Amino acid sequence: MSHCDKSSTIKRLNRIEGQVRGVARMIEEDRYCMDVLHQIQAVKAAISKVEDAVLSSHAASCVEEAIASGDAADQREKFSELVELFSKTKR
């Protein structure tokens, strides 16, 4: 991950951490369930954006390097890692 991407991702994760603490506070304060659920949806969307950024970075660096290297074994490995990751998320 480039320095800029890493910095942006860390900032996003710190904001998400704050959101999660806020959700916990809402639950402790017996806030309305729908308000809590809206905040949980916001946390899930934010995590999804971080996932997309990390995936994009992986494709732009690790996968691209494997393709450029011409090393078929490395290419298969990078592809297999992605397939395995996405097959786990379907379960």
| pTM of the complete model | 0.79
pLDDT at position 21: 98
pLDDT at position 10: 96
Q: Is the confidence at residue 24, as pLDDT, over 70?
A: yes
pLDDT at position 32: 98
pLDDT at position 3: 66
33-91 per-position pLDDT tens digit: 999 999 999 999 999 999 999 988 888 888 888 888 999 998 889 889 888 988 887 66
Both tokens assigned to 4: 């800029």
Helix (H) or strand (E) holding 16: helix 3-28
pLDDT at position 48: 95
Through-space distance between the first and last CA atoms of the chain, rounded to whole angstroms: 28
Q: Answer whether 24's CB lies under 8 Å from 36's CB.
A: no
CATH 1.20.58.1000 fits 3-90, yes or no: yes
